[in-house]
Structure 1
Amino acid sequence: MASLGVLRESDDFELSLALQNNSALQRALQEGGKTDETRQSLIVLACRTIQSCLGPGVKLDPDPSLANTNWSQSCWLTPKCIVYPRSAKDVSRTIKILGLLHTPFSVRCGGLSPTPEHSSIADGVLIDLRELGGIEISADGRIASVGPGARWSDVFEALDPHGLTVVGPRLPNVGIGGFILGGGLSFFSGEYGLAADKVENFEIVLSDGLIVDANSAEHPDLFWALKGGGSNFGIVTRFDLSTVPIRDIWYSMSTYAITEVPEVLLAFEQWQLRSADPKSAIFLRMGLDSCTITLVYSSPAKRPPCFNVFYDIDVMEYLILPTNGTVVSLTTALAELFPHNPARHDHRAASRKNDLGLYSAVEAYWVWRKETLALRDSTRADATFMIQHVPKTLIEKGIEDGSNPLGLTAVPQQWWAIVVDWDSAKDDNLVRESLRDITKRWTDLAKEQGTHLDFEFMNNASGDQNPLRSYGETNLQRLRDISMKYDKAQVFQLLQKGGFLLSRA
């Protein structure tokens, strides 16, 4: 077919006018990408046109080393080009061109999603937001304005001299955008709610290229939707986060033998049911050979009494001795203890009420361990089972801060997650099928015991799960209505390849 050339931009550039003057492009769009040749030509045209607008911020036919920075090797795909916008205006130009040329794309912040095409793409355009990494603290210290390309460790370090932090992740190598737009569970969520609940304002680029602020006063419906609604509405180019007055904290990390799991789980259940202290948090990770617990108290302390049930359990090894430190020192230590090593990864989510005591959690653990031991024997996969406490105060803070779309039942609960790492692509189907089977058995067990909650935490969900559906039909329909209002052409549903999309919910 005839060459489509390049659409060039001036300060008063209008893509629609360029389209009218490009007959080859008109024919290609009328064909609707019916042939592979047409589709490829439109993708190449989009890449070259974006490059003409952004210059060196676009890499055509990129080296795989640029594309393959995602956490999971299963997401290592090579796009036709990578766009590195340096401003919201760059994002606006990019998304207008992609919409006009019907070009598939994915958006990458940290690249931590283990689902192929959620932050990677083959034969399309990858928008990598790493250059939007600015961090600014307001004069009064109340707001931290953070770009989606920043890293949480940098955010924590910027706030440390002010005696402040934000509600961020437990492991600092998580991306900004995916964490917040999926909800965001933190060591400080019992006291302050989810990370999404502490956003004061989103600067977002819509599908028509318009750059808007979404907050409680401007576009409040979009503001609500972004607090857990994922990547369905636009590309967020700045998060204005409320800071919290936390710097100095107490923490420890201990490893326990597998034989201690029943006692550890009993202590965990007692802490959940008896501790009313929202300053306390626990990061519980159970492996096939040991169990690791991180205890965190959001103020300096000696031996916080809320953790008394853990102090008499035999410790196999202290990875971090009980100490008073800072948010920065804790997250630095955790980043060193849990590095993101190259491998194939996936995770999966489930939820339950935490009112049955010891029996349910122990039984679920042994179900998980039997299945994952067999999986390790056949694939060498390494698995971790996490139980995440969600106190009622977390849900109440979300309501107090203007609510969010998650539709959480206002009861104390647990969000369970499995994380699996493996090496070979030939084992992908076997590993993922095993995860689905374990999750189904957990769900069936919880239903039998009357503790099942129909909620899937987006940050822990696997690609074939449906966290948006678990928000409830009322909230799901509201999200769809907001999507249609702000994305009339449904660019983010039809052209965006990754993310938990409303079009698939």
Structure 2
Amino acid sequence: MSGLTFEIAATAVLDPACIFAPSSTEDVSRAVMLFSQNGCKFSIKGGGHSNIPGAASIDDGVMMVMSQMKTAEIHPEEGYIHVGAGVLLKDIYSTLDPHNLSAVIGRYGEIGLGLAVGAGISYFSNRDGLAVDNMRNYEVVLADGKVVNANLKENKDLFWALKGGNNNFGVVTRFDFNTVATPGSTYGGLIHYPESSLDKVDDLVYDYHTRQAVEGLLTHAMPQWVYNGSTNDTYNLTPVVYNDNVEELPPIMKPWLDVPHTSSTLAPRTYENLSIYLNEGFGDGLIQEQRVFTVYADKKFYKDVLYKFREWLQNFQDVPGFLGAHLNMPITPRQVHQGLLKGGNALGLEGAGNRTLGVLFFGITFEDPQYKEHILPEHDRFVQSMIELARERGVLYPYIMLTYCGYNQAAIASYGPNNVDRLWQVQRKYDPKAVFQRLVPGGQKLPPQEQQVH
């Protein structure tokens, strides 16, 4: 298709035989039927945010690029927005902002909708739960080309399975997100902390996980530590957001400003502006690798794992363009309960009980592919050693967030054997010929039923 442009993470680039860009659900239906009948392998690309090879691209098959399906329609009386599979999150924010509405979606504007079948942490998650738990409906093209809706009334089992089940059941062509009312703006930005403040930031992270995020339902923060190999320096750059029309942070979030910091860009903003601003910190075209695991909130473990990661990163300071990133994101008991109230999901988070979980992300980027064979396995081994440390200390929770996982991490298996069994039941019902297991090889697939994360 002439003029078609799209982005994809450099690490995930493969060599498809051709690219197909549907402009309607009917186009997708005919294509999937054709692929199924002819045994043609294909991939499904929305925003192309994942750096996992094959998640959005494919070798020698058809890459179906959804970027032409960018409709966004508000239904204010019914309380939802209806969007096409090619929409980026900034498009949703820009559509909703003028109506004093928003949605429980991701935080970075240039990201697509994969989080809506993975998990999805939002500015509003402390109050409303994960993105998957704020879905009203999925429009899905099944393997035989049939178009169905999945929601709390129709195809309820498929609706449950899509909330974490990724691309294993069909092609989602349209997403209906429940909307939330806003006062017209939010208050947020970035706070930059120098290396000398990191110990105090570490203390603050635990306070955010166990107090601020629990008691302050309008709060949102995403502590992120960045290591720069060229300077051998680590700093913290934390997005801090309060979801109200205010001119300063309320008392519950004031500790973020009490820690000595280099700069702050906190200001009233629209959600579109905030999502674009936060996205500006992401680089394109680099080698990227990510890993994730989950623990019960534990102050000492949080500090120890960060110290060990900073120490490990220094081994690669001479690699051109080498950067390391560590994020620590809470899943509070309320977030889990919101999922249960809204029909449940496949993620298996209920076992956490009344304890906050911390989702720990470890990412690296660098410029020269010649270092891949050495650095990527070392990164894998380091994160695995931290998982073992968490297990030894009794703080490991067996959940791997799909939207942040590494290419060989068993995210869906981590949902637990009962949920994996349910996912397989849904798969056999809606895709009896296993088209989306055989012909869509990329992304997180359903694991063998005996496989689980211990």
Same-fold call, TM cutoff 0.5: yes
1:307 match:
253
Q: Secondary structure at the match of 1:502?
A: coil
Counterpart check, 1:388 vs 2:329: yes
| 1:70 Cα offset (Å) | 4.1
- Equivalence for 1:204: 140
Q: Residue 55 of structure 2 aligns to which amino acid in structure 1? A: H
The question of whether the paired residues in 2 share the 8 Å contact of 1:346 and 1:462 is answered with: yes
- Return closer, same or farther for 1:369/1:71 CA change in 2, 3 Å cut-off: farther
Counterpart residue number, 1:452: 396
Once residues 94 and 252 of structure 1 are traced to their aligned partners in structure 2, the CA distance between those partners, rounded to angstroms, is 43
Give the match for residue 286 of structure 2: 343
Letter in 2 for 1:311: L
Distance 2:210 2:41 in 1: 48
- Look up the equivalent residue of 2:250 and give its one-letter code: P
Distance 1:379 1:437 in 2: 21
SS at the partner of 1:484? helix
Structure with the greater relative contact order (CA < 8 A, sep ≥ 6): 1 or 2?
2
Counterpart-to-counterpart distance in 1, 2:284 and 2:170:
31
Find out whether 1:140 has 2:100 as its counterpart: no
Residue of structure 2 in register with 1:415 after alignment: 359
| SS at 2:196 equivalent | helix
**Per-residue deviation at 1:213?**
0.5
Gaps of 5+ in 1: 1-56, 60-64
- Partners of 2:324 and 2:83 lie apart in 1 by 33
Match of 1:14 in 2: none
- Given that 2:110 and 2:276 are in contact with CA atoms closer than 8 Å, whether structure 1 keeps it comes out as no
2:275 to 308, 325, 331: 331
Moved over 6 A (4+): none
Out of 289, 296, 316, the position equivalent to 2:241 is 296
Q: TM-score, normalised by structure 2?
A: 0.92
In 2, Cα distance between equivalents of 1:471 and 1:139: 34
8 Å contact kept, 2:137–2:176: yes
Partner Cα distance (1:404, 1:191) in 2: 17
Q: How does 1:5-404 map to 2 (within 5 A)?
A: 69-140=6-77, 142-176=79-113, 178-246=114-182, 247-275=184-212, 276-288=215-227, 289-301=234-246, 302-318=248-264, 320=265, 322-336=266-280, 338-354=281-297, 356-357=298-299, 359-378=300-319, 380-404=321-345
CA-based RMSD of the aligned residues comes to 1.7
Give yes or no for contact 2:194–2:236 (8 Å, CA) kept in 1.
Answer: yes
User: Partners of 1:310 and 1:93 in 2: how far apart?
Assistant: 52
d(CA) in 1 for partners of 2:319 and 2:23? 46
Give the counterpart letter for 2:441 in structure 1: K
Deviation at 1:384?
0.5
2: CA distance between counterparts of 1:71 and 1:428?
18
Larger % of helix: which? 1
Q: State the secondary structure of the residue aligned to 1:311.
A: helix
Distance in 1 of aligned mates of 2:373 and 2:400: 21
User: Distance in 2 between the 1:219 and 1:141 partners?
Assistant: 20
| SS of equivalent to 2:311 | helix
Q: Could you report, residue by residue, the CA deviation over 1:52-98 in whole angstroms, capped at 9, with x for unpaired residues?
A: xxxxx5x8xxxxx968x443222222311111111111111101111
Partner of 1:40: none
Distance in 2 between residues matched to 1:403 and 1:493, nearest whole Å:
24
Segments of structure 2 that go 5 or more residues without pairing to the other structure are 228-233
Shift of 1:503: 4.7
Question: Which AA in structure 2 matches 1:449?
Answer: R
Partner of 2:230: none
Query: 1:152 Cα shift?
Result: 1.0
Separation of aligned partners in 2, 1:315 and 1:104: 51
Quote the residue 1:473 is aligned against. Answer: 417
Return the alpha-carbon distance in structure 2 between the equivalents of residues 495 and 376 of structure 1: 41
Contact preservation (8 Å) 2:189, 2:278:
no
User: Contact conserved, 1:198 with 1:241, CA < 8 A, in 2?
Assistant: yes
Rounded to whole Å, the distance in 2 between the matches of 1:187 and 1:429 is 37
Tell me, what secondary structure is at the counterpart of 2:317?
Answer: helix
Return the alpha-carbon distance in structure 2 between the equivalents of residues 125 and 311 of structure 1: 50
Deviations 1:314-351 (A, max 9, x none): 11122x1x322221221132133x24422121211111
Q: Which amino acid aligns with 1:303?
A: L
1:451-501 deviations in whole A, cap 9, x for unaligned? 111110000001100110100000001001100110011000011121101
Confirm or deny that 1:483 pairs with 2:413: no
SS in 1 for 2:103: coil
The amino acid across from 1:79 in the alignment is P
